[in-house]
Structure 1
Amino acid sequence: MRDLMGMMAKAKELQQKMQDAQAELDQVTVEGASGGGVVVVTLSAKGDLRGLKIDPSLLKPDEAEILEDLIVAAHADARAKAEAVMQEKMSGLTAGLPIPPGMKLF
């Protein structure tokens, strides 16, 4: 029974650490860029879009499709960076826990 209580205490501690990490990840921002930096997307580490910068040279009506593609590419770049930050943060929290490979906690 003591083992069960110990596991429950560890689970509660892990839950609090996860909540703290979630709050921290919401404050971390990453930038993704495309087109050599003419489009820059800023995301929180949780993936929320925080900002978008577009070089004025791209603001031509006949180049709208190119701009749209660059925005999508910049967002994908920032999202990949955000996921890397989140994985790094979570690996420190879950170290030593018997969690199956590939299981996502977020």
Structure 2
Amino acid sequence: MADFLGMMKQAAELQSKMKALQEELDHVEVEGLAGGGLVSVRMTAKMDVKAVKIDASLMKPEEREIVEDLVVTALGDAKRKAEAAMQEKMSALTGGLKLPPGFGLG
């Protein structure tokens, strides 16, 4: 029974740490770049887009499709970086224990 109580205590501690991690992820920001930095996207590790910046040199009607492609690329870059930041934080919390996708996130 002592083992079970110890496991319950560990589970409660992990739940508390997960909640703190969720709050921390709101403040971790990454920047995705495309076109050699002509387009940048800033987002949180929870994938909330905070800003999109487009260099003035791209603001020509004939460059519209290029700009659209660069925004998509920058968003993808930021998403990969956000996922990596979240994975790094989760790994630190769980001591490298692999948790099922979405466990405790949301």
Q: TM-score, normalised by structure 1?
A: 0.90
Q: CA deviation at 1:2?
A: 1.6
Q: After superposition, what is the alpha-carbon deviation per residue over 1:60-89, rounded to whole angstroms, capped at 9, x for unaligned?
A: 112211111100000111111111111111
Partner of 1:4: 4
Q: CA deviation at 1:90?
A: 0.6
Partner of 1:69: 69
**In the aligned structure 2, how far is the partner of 1:92 from the partner of 1:54?**
35
2:28 maps to amino acid: V
Q: After superposition, what is the alpha-carbon deviation per residue over 1:28-79, rounded to whole angstroms, capped at 9, x for unaligned?
A: 1100100010000000011110001000111111221111110000011111
1:32 maps to amino acid: G
Q: CA deviation at 1:9?
A: 1.0
The 4+ residue runs of structure 1 with deviation greater than 3 A are none
Partner of 2:26: 26
Partner of 1:39: 39
Partner of 2:92: 92
Number of residues of Structure 1 aligned to a counterpart in Structure 2:
103
Task: State the percentage of identical aligned residues.
Answer: 56
Aligned-residue Cα RMSD (Å) equals 1.4
Q: TM-score, normalised by structure 2?
A: 0.90
1:47 counterpart SS class: coil
**In the aligned structure 2, how far is the partner of 1:15 from the partner of 1:96?**
16
Partner of 1:60: 60
2:46 counterpart SS class: coil
